[in-house]
Amino acid sequence: MSLPVLIQPRAEADIRGIAAWWSKNRSPEQAARWWDGILEAIESLGEAPERCALARENPKHPCELRSLNFGLGSSPTHRILFTIRPEAVHVLTIRHTAQDDWDPDEV
C-alpha cells in the first residue's frame, strides 16, 4: 500500500537551500539534477518506507526517525530524515552527511 509523502516546511527550505548551493558552487545543471533526484528519492518513500534504517538520531527523537541516503554519484551526500505515521510519511529535514546529528529541538 502506498502512503502519501508530505515534505514539511523545514525540509522544503533545506531542499531549496541545498539546490541553491549546488547552483552557486557547482553548476545550475548539477543543481537541477540534484533537485530532481532528491524529489524522486523522497517520493519513493511512499512505497515501503520501513525499508530505510533507523536514523542515528532516533534514540534522541520523540518519534521513530528513519533515514534515506541520497547522492548524485555512487556516494551519498545527504540524508533524508523522516518519520512514518499511519496516514503519511513526513519528511522532516535534509542533512549533509558531514553535518552533525540532527537535534530534535531544531524542529
Residue 107 lies in a domain: no
Sheet harboring 89-96: ordered strands across?
5-7, 89-96, 78-84, 66-70
Residue 63 lies in a domain: yes
- Residue span of the structural domain in which 77 resides: 5-99
Q: What is the pLDDT of residue 105?
A: 75
pLDDT digits (tens, 9 = 90+) for 59-98: 988 899 999 999 998 999 999 999 999 999 999 999 999 9
Provide the domain count of the chain.
1
Question: Cα(47)–Cα(103) distance, rounded to whole angstroms?
Answer: 27
